[in-house]
Amino acid sequence: MSLGLQPVLAQEDLSALLESMEEKTTEYATAGFKTTRVINSHSIENVGAGVMDFKISHRFGYINGGIYELFGLDQASIRIGLDYGITKQLMVGFGRSSFEKTYDGFVKYKFLRQSSGVKNMPISAAWVSTMAIKTLKPSDPERENYFTSNLYYAHQLIIGRKFSEAFTLQLMPSMVHRNLVETTNDNNDIFAIGIAARQKITRRVAVNAEYYYQLNQTDPDITNSLSIGFDLETGGHVFQLHFTNSTSMIEKGFIPETTGNWLDGDIHFGFNVSRVFTIVNKEMKKPE
C-alpha cells in the first residue's frame, strides 16, 4: 500500500517544486517595437549585445510636388547608419545624412526594463544622448565661420510600456541644443515632448506613429513633427514604410527644424530598412 503511494507523492513533490520555480521567475517584456526606431525617433528597444544593426533611411520629396516631381520621387535624402550593442543595456551608433551633409553619433542606455514576476517593473526607460555636426559649406564664406557653430546636441528620456502583445506606447521628453541659431529671437535650447505608439495588426505587420510638440519654439515657420507608417517584418529584415513632414532623420533636425505642413501636403514618403548581424556571440563566451 505504501509502495503504491510513493510514485504519487514523488509526482506531487515534483509538481510543487516546478510551481515554486515558476513563481520565482521574472518575465521581461520584449519586442514592444520591432526595431530601435519608431520612425524617426529612437524606440525603447535596443539591439542585443554583440549585434550590429545596419540601417538605411530614405525620404523622398514632398508629395505636393505633383506629377512634375513625380509626387516627390524625383528628390531624395538618405541616412546610412550603424548601431552596435555593447551590452544588453548599452548601445552606440553612428550615421551620415545627405541632408545638410550631417554626421551624427549617439549613446543609448536602457536602465529600466518592464517585467513581471519576482521583479515587477511596470515600464521600460532609456536615456539617449546624441551629437551631430553639419558639414554643409557656409552660405557666407567671407565671414568667420567657427567649427563649433556647426555642432548640435540632443538629450532624450524614453519611457515606454508594452500594454499588450499588440499595443505599445512611449513618451520622449527631449531637449535639443544648437550652438548657432539664425536670429537672436531663436532659442538655442528647444524643449519638446514626444509621444509614439505601435499597434500590431498581424504577426508581421504593425502601424507606428510619432509626434513631437515643441514647448518653446519661437519661429512661426517651424511646425511639429508628425509621422505615421507601417512595419513589415521579413525574417532578418524589417521594412518601415511611412509618411512624415520632417526631412531630417536625426533629433537635431526633425524636432526643432521641421517646416512641412501636413494640411498643405508637405509630406515625405519614405522608408527605413534594418538588417542585423551578430558580430560577437556573447552568449557563447565563458562567464568571467
Count other Cβ atoms within 10 Å, centred on residue 23.
9
In this structure, are residues 162 and 114 in contact, taking their beta carbons and an 8 Å threshold? Answer: yes
CA distance 254 to 134: 14
Residue whose C-alpha cell is 540632443 = 154
> What is the average pLDDT value for the chain, to the nearest integer?
88
CA distance 219 to 213: 14
Residue 152's pLDDT band (cuts 50, 70, 90): very high
> Which of 12-16, 59-63, 215-219 shows the lowest mean pLDDT across its residues?
12-16
In this structure, are residues 155 and 174 in contact, taking their beta carbons and an 8 Å threshold? Answer: yes
Length of the chain: 288
Residue 117 has pLDDT above 50, yes or no: yes
pLDDT (tens digit, 9 = 90+) per residue, 27-59? Answer: 888 889 989 999 999 999 999 999 999 999 999
What structural domains and CATH numbers belong to the chain? 27-283 (2.40.160.40)
CA distance 152 to 133: 6
CA distance 97 to 77: 7
> Which of 8-22, 26-40, 100-114, 151-165 shows the lowest mean pLDDT across its residues?
8-22
CA distance 20 to 17: 5
Residue 72's pLDDT band (cuts 50, 70, 90): confident
Check residue 18 and give its pLDDT: 55
Q: Which residue, among 206, 227, 249, 247, has the nearest Cα to 75 in the 3D structure?
A: 247
CA distances from 106 to 27, 37, 103, 182 (A): 29, 13, 11, 25
SS (H, E, C) 31-49: CCCCCCECCCCECCCCCCC
Residue 215's pLDDT band (cuts 50, 70, 90): very high
In this structure, are residues 61 and 67 in contact, taking their beta carbons and an 8 Å threshold? Answer: no
Q: Which residue, among 81, 61, 80, 57, has the nearest Cα to 71 in the 3D structure?
A: 61
> Which of 90-94, 160-164, 184-188 shows the lowest mean pLDDT across its residues?
184-188
Check residue 189 and give its pLDDT: 94
Residue 280 has pLDDT above 90, yes or no: no
Contacts of 74 (CB under 8 A, 6+ apart): 61, 65
pLDDT (tens digit, 9 = 90+) per residue, 223-274? Answer: 999 999 999 988 767 889 999 999 999 999 999 999 999 999 999 999 999 8
Residue 119's pLDDT band (cuts 50, 70, 90): confident
Check residue 146 and give its pLDDT: 80
Q: Any idea what DSSP says for residue 136?
A: P
Cell (9 digits) for 92: 552606440
Q: Which residue, among 97, 176, 85, has the nearest Cα to 129 in the 3D structure?
A: 176
Q: Which residue, among 134, 130, 31, has the nearest Cα to 83 in the 3D structure?
A: 130
Contacts of 271 (CB under 8 A, 6+ apart): 57, 58, 239, 240, 241, 242
Mean pLDDT of 215-229: 94
SS (H, E, C) 16-31: HHHHHHHHCCEEECCC
Instruction: Return the percentage of the chain with pLDDT > 90, whole number.
Output: 64
Residue 287 has pLDDT above 50, yes or no: no
